[in-house]
Amino acid sequence: MATSYQPLLGTPKNTTTFSCRRVYLVLSLCAIILPTTFLGLHLIKTNRSDLSISSHLCDQAYDPKLCISMISELAASDGVRQFNGINLLQNFLMRSVPYTVSAIEVARSTKNRVSDHSHEQVALADCVELLNLSIDRVTDSVVALANWTTPSSSHANAAQAWLSSVLTNHVTCLDGLHILGRPFMETLLEDLISRARVSLAILARIVASDEEMVRPMNGELPSWITREDRKLLESLPDHHNIKANVVVAQDGSGDYRTVREAVASAPDKSKNRYVIYVKRGTYKENVEVGKKKKNVIIVGDGMDLTIITGSLNVVDGSTTFRSATLGNNSY
């Protein structure tokens, strides 16, 4: 959470050349995208003439006062009193990137200071990875918001998923830190957590006017799911109808004996679904779906028949991030 001496929306100092270059690339991308968002003014169906945009967008915030403070300062810095909520959210996300980069640099420098404490080093390395993922997800969110031009668009759902993962990344990073690393990172991470919560609050208020997005699904699949994905999801109870790219079987009857090998076989940055069918059995392994493994789907024979179980846990020295039996960094 921002302190009295830490400006809410200023640009952090003391970043490396690499960090500055990355911020420049992200902001350049956003600068190209943002002009198109003014076409989406009709998406906001609320009467903003009766409410200030900050209080209006912070109705559902975790901390309304902090949310209003952040948005008001953003609007003031841009010299605008009221403007499109989507555009405001994109600007807010862009301005959060330098703070994330600053936290990455602090995590790296702190990691070098605690070289004699392997557990702290692993936790700080996790933070670097998680925060880098957050920058990618923020960029994805800005792109998704720019493409959100019609009600019930999948882009709004995508933005919500990306921003939720950003919040999860920051909390996971903080949870993994201990006595040595926490003092250096805690204030930065609490501020990032607050920003992630505010971004989700703004998005929630924007989509509140879209009846399709907020109505209960009652077991139905969302309307934006493609025909191919709908067919795949509906075929899951019966594995005979699944057209898998590869099959995992412990007895050697498939393409691979371990799930980890099958995941490694998936193409990087695939635009098509890559389905891995895991036959019944207990697979004692920890599986990580890497950042470049896009559109990977893992299906089995049922919750009690196909079991993947790892042995890593926090009590035995693993960090929260690394203890997952099946971890996914591709989103």
CATH number given to 77-208: 1.20.140.40
For the chain, the domains span 77-208, 227-322
Nearest to 135 by CA among 160, 170, 111, 187: 170
The pLDDT score that the predictor gives to residue 316 is 62
191-249 per-position pLDDT tens digit = 999 999 999 999 988 887 555 555 666 777 777 677 888 877 777 666 667 789 999 99
286-300 per-position pLDDT tens digit = 888 888 898 999 999
User: Would you say 329 and 165 are in contact if contact means Cβ atoms under 8 Å apart?
Assistant: no
Which of 19-33, 145-159, 291-305 is predicted with the least confidence, judged by mean pLDDT? Answer: 19-33
pTM: 0.72
| Average pLDDT value over all residues in the chain | 79
**What 3-state DSSP class applies to 247?**
strand
| Measured distance CA(105)–CA(185) in Å, rounded | 10
The continuous run of DSSP H or E covering 275 comes out as strand 274-278
